[in-house]
Amino acid sequence: MAVKDPSVSRTAIIVAGGSGKRLGGPVPKQFQTIKGRPLLMWTIEAFHRFDASMPLIVVLPEAHFDIWKALCMGHGFFLEHQVVAGGEQRFHSVKAGLDKVEGDGLVAVHDGVRPLVSKELIARCFDAADKHGTAIPVVPVVPSIRETTAEGSRALDRSKLLAVQTPQCFHADLLRKAFALPYDPAFTDEATLVERLGVKVSLVEGEENNIKVTNAMDMRVVGSLEGLPWWRSFGALWLTFSVLPEGWPSSGGVVCGRSQGQMVLLLLFHSGSRNGRQRMVRPRTCAFIRTSGSWCTSGCGSSPSIRS
C-alpha cells in the first residue's frame, strides 16, 4: 500500500441504499449476513483496514437508520462512521454523501455490497486519482456479449469492453462540479457524470474478487472466497453455539422496532455466571420478525460510534 501524502485528505463514501429485490430475503442486501456479519460491515471494515484515520460516510435510506444502529450494537461493530440519509436514486444518494465531505482532497465512492475490495485496489485508485484527477477500476469482460438491434442482435467484440467496479475516486472539487449538473436518468456511475464535464476518466486495474452482490449466487460466491477474515466471524459462531452452556443462569435483553414493511430486528444477548464469576457477552444473536410494534430498547448497553 502506498504511503499516504499528509497534504492530501481522503474520504470514502459508501453507498448502501439498495432494496435487495433481486437478492430476495426479508432484509435489504446490505444487511444480509455473510460469515456471521452483515455485508455492509465487511465493506466498511475494508476501508478502515486501508486507512483507519480516513473519514467514512455511509449513505443509507433514512428508514434503515434504526435497523443499522441495532445491527451495529448486536454485532459489536464500533468502527466510527457517519451515516447520511440517501435519496431516491444513486445520484441523489452520492450527492448527499458528497455534501458531508470536508475539504478539497480525494473522494472514493464505493458500493456498500462490494465487501471484498482489497487495500491494494483502494490504494491504486487513490494514487491514480491523485495524479490524474479521476480513477475507476475495471476488469475485462469474460462472457460473450450481444447487442440487441432492430433486426435482432449482433455480437460485440468483448476485447474492447470492460466491466466497471468501485471504488471510483476523484478530486473532490471535480466531483462537486459534476454533481452540480442536472440529474440525468442515464447516469449509471460517478465516472459517467464526470465525463459530462469533458474530463477524461483514468482506468485502473480492478480485481475479479471485487464482486458486487446482487443475487443469491453472488452471496454464495463471496462467502466461498478468501478476503473476509475468518476470525472476525468466529465470535458470532462461538456465541451461537456456546452462549448458554448447560447449567449457566442467563438473562436477556431485546432491541426491537418497526420500519417500512413492518420489518423488525430482534437482538438477543445474555449474561451468565459460573463458579461465582460474572460473564458478559455482547449481543450477537439476531433474527428478523414482523410485528406492528414501535421501536423500543431494553438492556442494550452502550451505543456504537455512529454519527448521523
Contact (Cβ atoms closer than 8 angstroms) between residue 201 and residue 168: no
Which structural domains are found in the chain, ordered by start?
A: 10-143+154-230 (3.90.550.10), 241-297 (no CATH)
Burial class of residue 154 in the structure, from the number of CB atoms within 10 Å of its CB (0-12 exposed, 13-18 middle, 19+ buried): exposed
Q: Per residue of the chain (308 residues), what is the pLDDT tens digit?
A: 445 566 789 999 999 975 545 445 567 889 988 888 999 999 999 999 999 999 999 999 999 999 999 999 999 999 999 999 999 899 999 999 999 999 999 999 999 999 999 999 999 999 999 999 999 999 999 999 999 999 999 999 999 999 999 999 999 999 999 999 999 988 889 999 999 999 999 999 999 999 999 888 888 888 888 666 544 443 333 333 333 334 433 333 333 333 333 333 334 333 333 443 433 344 433 433 333 333 333 333 334 445 55
Residues 6+ apart with CB under 8 A from 232: 35, 36, 37, 42, 45
Report how far residue 259's alpha carbon sits from residue 96's, in angstroms, rounded to the nearest whole number.
22
Q: What is the pTM of this model?
A: 0.74
Residue 15 is classified by DSSP as E
Alpha helices in 150-298 (DSSP H): 172-179, 190-195, 216-224, 230-242
259, three cell numbers = 420500519
State the amino acid at position 13 in one-letter form.
I
Contact (Cβ atoms closer than 8 angstroms) between residue 112 and residue 14: yes
